[in-house]
């Protein structure tokens, strides 16, 4: 991409809102891979797509860039080095939480860096974390595991101490965005509905385990917005007044990131593509033919894009 794209309006929320304007980007699941190719993630293009996203953000007058994780293919040290090199060009803070492919898992054939390394490099210095971005508060939670947690699973789980941390922040602040890799129940329900009605053999990707406790903690706040990734789709879902905005991936169709603007009229979410038309067509073709599940996810993504804006309050 060589020109700034205005983006497509994905959602418009009445809240959060603020007297002054706050702008931030959300870039999800780049899965940067420098020594792999193929699959629906188009590994051979992941570095270029992530770099295009970061370069595009440079002209957006942002307060920060956020990521719900899966920065790397599978936590390889060399892929982390590439991510770090690309992020050096950012002139605003970058805050991330780990995805299930960023942390150590049983069966890794490489020495995955420790969670401490992730915290040092991509957070304000702790995990969970709380940080002010313009006039909003961002809370980062780790649903993906650590050096000794969730080693045998790619499912998500938010421990009780992190839920207590979340409740404490929500008791103090109103304009809160919660950064989390895994998803809330209604998002998985959208996938199950597609499976039941359209693609009967489609598998459901790894889910979040303790959703009742997570939703209960989120319900303590005033209109929090949960920022997720994981499923590589542009989607919006609501449960008990809590909005989830899922960011698409930069690695596979529809290669994009999200731009948030919070101001006096509420919160606007725009989808910004990081590939040209031919690149999008290639990604759609490859992802749609990779597997039954990938085909289902591609269909869901295309349907969501065709129905923008998904929410207009």
3-state class of 172 per DSSP? helix
Residue-wise pLDDT for 149-176, tens only, equals: 999 999 999 999 999 999 999 999 999 9
Instruction: Name the one residue in this structure whose structure tokens are 């073709």.
Output: 285
pLDDT in tens, 3-28: 678 899 999 999 999 999 999 999 99
Q: Domain map of the chain by residue range? A: 8-312
Q: Is the pLDDT of residue 1 over 70?
A: no
Backbone angles phi, psi at 156, to 5 degrees: -105, 155
Average pLDDT for residues 65-76, to the nearest whole number?
98
User: Is 70 exceeded by the pLDDT of residue 292?
Assistant: yes
Averaged pLDDT, 189-218: 96
* Contact call for residues 232 and 69 (beta carbons, < 8 A): no
DSSP 57-104: HTTS--SEEEE-S--BSSS-HHHHHHHHHHHTT--S-EEE---TTTS-
Q: Looking at residues 126-145, what average pLDDT do you find?
A: 98
How many Å apart are CA 50 and CA 204, to the nearest integer? 26
Nearest residue to 232 (alpha-carbon basis) of 30, 35, 36:
30
Q: For the residues 105-132, what does the mean pLDDT come to?
A: 97
The answer to whether 23 touches 259, Cβ cutoff 8 Å, is yes
- Residues 157 and 144 sit within 8 Å (Cβ to Cβ): no
Mean pLDDT taken over the chain:
96
Cβ neighbours, 10 Å, residue 212: 9
| Three-state DSSP state, 269 | strand
Q: Which CATH superfamily does the domain covering 8-312 fall into?
A: Metallo-dependent phosphatases (3.60.21.10)
pLDDT above 50 for 110: yes
Q: Which two tokens stand for residue 235?
A: 């989607």
Cis peptide before 312 (omega within 30 of 0): no
The tens digit of pLDDT for each residue in 51-67 reads 999 999 998 999 999 99
Q: What is the pLDDT of residue 203?
A: 96
pLDDT reported for residue 3: 63
Query: Token digits for 65?
Result: 């860039």
pLDDT tens for each residue of 214-247: 999 999 998 899 999 999 999 999 999 999 999 9
Q: What angle do CA 66, 109, 295 make, to 5 degrees?
A: 60
**CB neighbourhood size of 99 (10 A):** 28
H or E element that contains 261: strand 256-263
Using CA atoms, how far residue 309 sits from 8, 116, 251, 289, 312, in Å, is: 8, 39, 23, 27, 6
Q: Quickly tell me which residue has 């942390």 as its tokens.
A: 103
pLDDT for 2: 46
Output the pLDDT for position 139.
98
Residue among 15, 1, 11, 9 nearest 45 (CA) = 1
Residues whose CB is less than 8 angstroms from the CB of residue 281 and which lie 6 or more positions away in sequence, other chains included: none
pLDDT, tens digit, 9 for 90 and up, residues 33-52? 999 999 999 999 999 999 99
């Amino acid at each position: 991409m060589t020109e700034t794209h205005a983006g497509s309006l994905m959602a418009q929320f009445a809240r959060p809102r603020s007297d002054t304007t706050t702008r931030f980007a959300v870039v999800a699941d780049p899965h940067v891979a420098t020594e792999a190719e193929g699959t629906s993630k188009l590994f051979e293009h992941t570095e270029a797509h992530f770099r295009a996203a970061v370069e595009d953000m440079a002209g957006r007058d942002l307060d920060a860039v956020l990521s719900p994780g899966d920065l790397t293919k599978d936590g390889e040290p060399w892929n982390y080095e590439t991510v770090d090199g690309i992020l050096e060009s950012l002139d605003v803070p970058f805050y991330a939480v780990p995805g299930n492919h960023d942390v150590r898992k049983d069966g890794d054939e490489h020495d995955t860096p420790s969670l401490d390394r992730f915290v040092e490099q991509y957070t304000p210095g702790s995990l969970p974390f709380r940080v002010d971005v313009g006039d909003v508060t961002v809370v980062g939670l780790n649903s993906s595991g650590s050096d000794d947690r969730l080693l045998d699973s790619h499912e998500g789980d938010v421990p009780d101490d992190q839920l207590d941390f979340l409740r404490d922040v929500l008791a103090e602040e109103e304009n809160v965005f919660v950064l989390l890799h895994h998803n809330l129940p209604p998002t998985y329900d959208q996938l199950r509905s597609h499976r039941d009605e359209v693609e009967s053999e489609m598998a459901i990707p790894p889910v979040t385990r303790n959703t009742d406790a997570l939703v209960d903690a989120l319900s303590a706040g005033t209109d929090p917005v949960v920022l997720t990734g994981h499923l590589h789709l542009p989607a919006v879902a609501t449960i008990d007044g809590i909005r989830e905005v899922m960011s698409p991936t930069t690695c596979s169709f529809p290669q994009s990131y999200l731009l948030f603007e919070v101001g006096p009229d509420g919160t606007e979410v725009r989808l910004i593509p990081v590939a040209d038309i031919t690149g999008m067509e290639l990604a759609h073709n490859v992802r749609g033919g990779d597997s039954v599940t990938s085909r289902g996810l591609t269909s869901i993504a295309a349907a969501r894009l065709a129905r923008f804006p998904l929410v207009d309050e």
